[in-house]
Structure 1
Amino acid sequence: MPDDLDARSVRRAALRTALQVAAVSTALVIGVLGLAAIVIVQQSRPSELLERAKPGQSKIYVDANEVLVALVAIGVVAIVVVGLASWAISRRAVAPLGTALRMQRSFVADASHELRTPLTVLDARLQVLDRKLRRQEPYDDTLAAARRDARIMIDLVTDLLLVAEASAIDSRTDALAGCDLRPVVLSSVRDLEVLAAERSLTVSATVENEARVGLSELSLRRALVVLIDNALAHSPDGGTVEVVAGVDRGRAVVRVTDTGGGITGIDVDQVFERFSHGPDTGRRRGFGIGLSLVRDLADRHGGRVLVDATSEQGTTMRLELPVVHPPQRGSAVRST
């Protein structure tokens, strides 16, 4: 796994640095103790034992052998302490390297996944645009949608670059920005309808209660697109995907239900782990990253995502997010 490779690389770098520092420190300790031993031996000549102390003067004589043994013991302890300290300091020093490696791999994986769906949508719109041009049909709406997709990708790339530079908007700033749930849900569904149409899938959206959540519009859209796209990928041709949003016990809840065969070949708790895959069903298959991104995004903002239900009749993913402002009760809004 990439994380294991990164961890081993960091440990090797820390070990090499620690050995180099320990070697230099050991040589220094040995040199200092060696000089001290030479001085002590020279100052402990037998002739000194024959000298008489002058009146009022006292002398203390030390056994040179005992001093040398003490110096050796002190040297060994000092070398061990230096080695351990070098290892600890080296690991702390190379820790940013490990973080940088993980961030690099995470950025590449996130960028690959996040750009895949918008590019697929844009490609589908361009195909529709091409057909309309050939048939000389009105194409203004399709062209406008393609331009909107391009703007979304520009915003997405900007967001990913900000994350890579460790200057992305944190959850507190994102919460202050916030966004309304209903328009983002409806627009996310509309954006993916072009993919659903290619396989005769029906996508419906129902917003039972209006609410404002503590995420930016881009962040919420990213999460919803991943969940809806995942439902489309696991639904059979001609099936349906239903998106229902509302408020439950003071939290905004979005349920995305598909009509696939349920989660099989993998534990339900593992579907939100990176690079986790179920069995190959022959349908479009991603890299096992999208749902983990949704989980990370929800966790950062005080929410959660889970498998609400799964069976042979389909699977329901449940996204819960904190509500910034009290919801406005009203009639349900539907879009099909």
Structure 2
Amino acid sequence: MRTTAWDNHDRPKIPVIDSDTLAIRRASRIVGTRIAIACAGVVAVVIVAVFVYILSEILPGELFEPVPDTDNLQISAGKLLRAAGVLGVALIVLAGVLSWQVTHRAVQPLGEVLRIQRAFVADASHELRTPLAVLDARLQILQRALPTGDPSSSVVADLRSDAKDLIHIVNELLESAEIGGAAVHDTAVVDLVAAVDAAVQSMALIAIDKHITIELDAPQPGPVRVPASSITRCVVALLDNAVRFTPRDSAITVAVAVTKKTVAVTVHDRGPGIRGIDHARIFDRFAHSAPPDADGDEARTGFGIGLSLVREIAVRYGGSVHVVTSTAAGTALCLTVPRAKQTRSAL
């Protein structure tokens, strides 16, 4: 990130560049230098190979004649084509090996950084969960001890709500870090509709405060090989995003569609739509769109890590999540996972 410092006379000083940008530039220079060296090595091999081939076609006695003979070098077209073919194949293999080595060395530090990042997120989340749980418990005790009609009751209630939000964020961070490093194992067949219904029932308690109704449309069971808790977690995240932006006195629709190969859950809200950001990027961690319009229209500006967690879970089990549509009339997000094959014993 580049920032510009200003002196007392409003004249810009030398731009200040943070350490991350400097590290990226240094890594880019290293990779560029290695690629340049690899290309130079390939060119050198070509020149040496051509030089050696030409010398091999000249007799040693004719090579050091006092008066050079123009007829010393005689190369047939067949030999030249064979030599060019062998040299071309060898250069392609050499270029591929060098490119693989350079790319492997360039990407290896990135993998280590991602591993360290996930370890840090997991450690930090573990350390924060207990203090936040204690804080919420103490606020709950204080809330119960306040007499009816106490003017500070609303403040304590807001503090408890803030504490719950922090606990929710920490849990998402921890689950996201654990999913990133976990291996996929075979799971039992579960009914996706039952897990979706559990999520709808949970979020209905929150949506009722905004006079929002959540309607579930699931005409048939959806067998999948995804843990029921993961499905519920994904749908809760999608519904949480929908409830935050859906206006009061409206409805959110959750539809389950079952095909021969997939089971899809579509959450359709009546919010203002996604603007100022590519729809695919809302599933990035802490993605932010452009600020609200100048005319005062509300827009979705922050997406947290809930949607990022949905994508990680979906991809982990061979599925996907995407934006079906997003207009001023509402947004529809679709979670798709593979349908489980029914065994003979289950029929």
TM-score (norm 2): 0.53
CA-CA distance at 1:185 after TM superposition:
3.0
Q: Per the alignment, in what secondary structure is the counterpart of residue 316 of structure 1?
A: strand
Shift in alpha-carbon separation, 1:113–1:184, aligned structure 2, 3 A: farther
Q: Per the alignment, in what secondary structure is the counterpart of residue 71 of structure 2?
A: helix
Task: Specify which of 269, 284, 296 is matched with residue 258 of structure 1.
Answer: 269
Cα distance in 2 between the residues matched to 1:100 and 1:115: 23
Q: Per the alignment, in what secondary structure is the counterpart of residue 66 of structure 1?
A: coil
By relative contact order (CA 8 Å, sep 6+), the higher-ranking structure is: 1
Given the alignment of the two structures, is residue 159 of structure 1 paired with residue 179 of structure 2, yes or no?
Answer: yes
CA contact (8 A) 2:192 2:221 kept: yes
CA-CA distance at 1:265 after TM superposition:
3.8
CA-CA distance at 1:260 after TM superposition:
1.8
Task: Specify which of 53, 71, 77 is matched with residue 66 of structure 1.
Answer: 71
Shift in alpha-carbon separation, 1:161–1:203, aligned structure 2, 3 A: farther
Task: Specify which of 299, 315, 323 is matched with residue 331 of structure 2.
Answer: 315
After superposition, give the CA deviation of every residue in 1:247-269 in whole Å (9 maximum; x if it has no partner).
4445533222333212334566x
Cα distance in 1 between the residues matched to 2:134 and 2:228: 25
CA-CA distance at 1:134 after TM superposition:
1.9
1:52-201 correspondence to structure 2 within 5 Å: 65-68=70-73, 81=88, 85-97=93-105, 100=108, 128-136=136-144, 156-162=176-182, 168-169=183-184, 173-174=185-186, 176-182=187-193, 184-185=195-196, 188=199
Q: Which residue of 2 aligns with 1:246?
A: 256
Q: Which residue of 1 aligns with 2:41?
A: 20
Shift in alpha-carbon separation, 1:24–1:42, aligned structure 2, 3 A: closer
Q: Per the alignment, in what secondary structure is the counterpart of residue 244 of structure 1?
A: strand
CA contact (8 A) 2:253 2:268 kept: yes
Cα distance in 1 between the residues matched to 2:215 and 2:127: 23
TM-score (norm 1): 0.55
Task: Specify which of 62, 67, 85 is matched with residue 41 of structure 1.
Answer: 62
Given the alignment of the two structures, is residue 231 of structure 1 paired with residue 242 of structure 2, yes or no?
Answer: yes
When the two structures are aligned, how many residues end up with a matched partner?
287
Given the alignment of the two structures, is residue 285 of structure 1 paired with residue 302 of structure 2, yes or no?
Answer: yes
Q: Which residue of 2 aligns with 1:213?
A: 224
Compare 152-161 and 102-111 and name the one that shifted more.
Answer: 102-111
Which amino acid counterpart does residue 67 of structure 1 have in structure 2? N
What are structure 1's unaligned runs of at least 5 residues? 47-62, 163-167, 327-336
Compare 81-90 and 29-38 and name the one that shifted more.
Answer: 29-38
What are structure 2's unaligned runs of at least 5 residues? 1-20, 146-160, 293-298, 343-347
1:285-304 correspondence to structure 2 within 5 Å: 285-286=302-303, 294=310, 298=314, 303-304=319-320
CA contact (8 A) 2:121 2:173 kept: no
Which amino acid counterpart does residue 92 of structure 1 have in structure 2? W
Task: Choose 1 or 2 for highest CA Rg.
Answer: 1
Which amino acid counterpart does residue 238 of structure 2 have in structure 1? L
